[in-house]
Structure 1
Amino acid sequence: MSDSLGSMPANVRPKALVTGSASGIGRAAALKLAEEGFDVTINYSRSHDRAEQTLRELEKHGGSHQAVKADVSDDAAVQEMVAAAAGDDGRLDVLVNNAGTTSQTPPDDLAGIDLDDWDQVFRVNVRGLVQVTRAAAPALRGSQGSIVNVASIVGLRPGPQPLAYAASKAAVVSLTKTLSRVMAPEVRVNAVAPGWIAGEWMERTLGDNYESLMERRARQTPLKRNVTLEDVAESIYALAVTHRFVTGEIVVVDGGFTATT
């Protein structure tokens, strides 16, 4: 592991908090951090069984890991989660803001938007990110740590995602740039914007067209395949740990599709 996170006492393992990490991108990022020597706090809201399974996988890498239940849109729960992640010494080296939700409204159905549904997406994806970042700021500043937010390619360009989700991820892109100034110079803030990730999220989004559309996407991608969870986790880790003079950036992880189409 690089020493770009700032000074660290000898024989002390760095600590990371990954929100929304029972499964998907969060799980992959947590496993990558544990593999690289971090003590990881994973977070879940409802998926207790999945969180426990992920925790068992983390423990295979050694170190001290924990799973904390918290709804990131609940500020009191967020405060308790961050306190648990920072521990007795109040240290936190990496925050990955991954927790997110989406709407079931079809992407082009403007008239069908449920405003309560819209508000819930923004409570989790935007307000939640702000609340977790605010709560973790003192610990991250103390360790000269870093933050990686999980945005989406639909936060940068149109795509087949519900309007509420796309708008919330555009807000994550904007917040990443703004927070990089607010948290400087102690803390770097960057984001990843994954393209179409093979797996259950896109299966739900594309429905019966999943196989054909993913195959077409892979053919149109310069690197000739679709994004994997592990691809995203590697980029999260690199931004968090090794890119010591990079902040306020949005790294697109899609094999070159966006750059060439």
Structure 2
Amino acid sequence: MNAQRPVALVTGASSGIGRSNALALAAHGYDVVINYASSKDAAHEVALKAEAAGARAITVQADVADEDAVLAMLGRVDEEFGRLDALVNNAGTTVNTPPSDLDGLSMADWDRVFAVNVRGLFQVTRAAVPLLRRSPHAAVVNTASIVGLRPGPQPFPYAASKAAVVSLTKTLAGALGPEIRVNAVAPGWMVGDWMEDQLGDDYDRLMERRARLTPLRRCVTADDVAQTVVSLITSNPFVTGEIVVIDGGFSATT
């Protein structure tokens, strides 16, 4: 155990933003705990890449909506590393029911989205607080979304859950300061599987249109988000309670 090397826990780290977060933190000198719900092989691949970047990396399976699993996960972090310096609450889920289909939305699906995206975020943060308080520069970064701040084409439970993440971020910043800083990132339309699932056959056309309307002339990538997350953890010691929009200026100019 290298007690001098900082440790980061990234939930939902087997793919997408979580994967990029874990690898960016590993490259920045952090050991990483890679949480996953079901994608064991993908999580193991991320761990191997993190180790190639010089990190010690472990994978931990846990559904963040399951409190017992969350407590066991943080117990494992304590056992393996004895410290936690950064928490990235990235685990999230959605449904495929479009906002236009009010009657087609299952309330069981609604509850599952909130269980992962909101309850899960709170449970992991609460369980991590005792370890984070041991760190001299503890930071939490939550993955929100632009649709938590303004209307968008995402399903109702997803958008509402991300608005809750925005509120939780600000409330937790007040409750956990000054020892622990809490911020969030709010990505816009992001290149990759998530938006492909949401936009279907219109993905290429709509993403190209969004890029043309964006001041920086492209859509956000998972690596763009990870760079901002690492900055919030390592380079912004007097920033807390903030929601950083990462969309190339689209929402600021349209």
Coarse TM-score class (shorter-chain normalised): over 0.9
Q: Please report how far the alpha carbon of residue 63 of structure 1 lies from its aligned counterpart in structure 2 after TM superposition.
A: 2.7
Q: Return 5+ residue gaps in structure 2 as ranges.
A: none
Question: Identity of aligned pairs, percent?
Answer: 61
Q: Find out whether 1:250 has 2:246 as its counterpart.
A: no
Matching residue of 1:13:
5
- The CA distance in 2 between the partners of 1:110 and 1:241, in whole Å, is 42
The 8 Å contact of residues 3 and 81 in structure 2, kept in 1 or not, is answered as no
Q: Please report how far the alpha carbon of residue 90 of structure 1 lies from its aligned counterpart in structure 2 after TM superposition.
A: 3.1
Q: How does 1:19-98 map to 2 (within 5 A)?
A: 19-87=11-79, 90-98=82-90
Which of the residues 161, 165, 183 maps onto 2:158? 165
- In the superposition, relative to structure 1, how do residues 219 and 89 fare at CA in structure 2: closer, same or farther (>3 Å)? closer
The 8 Å contact of residues 3 and 82 in structure 2, kept in 1 or not, is answered as no
Match of 2:183, SS? strand
- In the superposition, relative to structure 1, how do residues 49 and 89 fare at CA in structure 2: closer, same or farther (>3 Å)? closer
Which of the residues 144, 150, 162 maps onto 1:151? 144
Summarize deviations over 1:159-195 as a string: whole Å, max 9, x none. Answer: 1110000000000000000000010110000000000
Match of 1:43, SS? strand
Match of 1:143, SS? coil
Matching residue of 1:213:
206
Q: How does 1:87-236 map to 2 (within 5 A)?
A: 87=79, 90-144=82-136, 145-236=138-229
Aligned residues: 252
- TM-score w.r.t. structure 1 length? 0.94
Q: Please report how far the alpha carbon of residue 86 of structure 1 lies from its aligned counterpart in structure 2 after TM superposition.
A: 3.1
Match of 1:62, SS? coil
Match of 1:16, SS? strand
- The CA distance in 2 between the partners of 1:231 and 1:89, in whole Å, is 28
- The CA distance in 1 between the partners of 2:29 and 2:77, in whole Å, is 16
Give me the CA root mean square deviation.
1.2
The 8 Å contact of residues 17 and 96 in structure 1, kept in 2 or not, is answered as yes
Runs of 4+ more than 4 Å apart: none
The 8 Å contact of residues 27 and 55 in structure 2, kept in 1 or not, is answered as no
Summarize deviations over 1:202-249 as a string: whole Å, max 9, x none. Answer: 000000100000000000000011101110000000011110000000
Summarize deviations over 1:93-131 as a string: whole Å, max 9, x none. Answer: 000000000012112211211000000000000000000
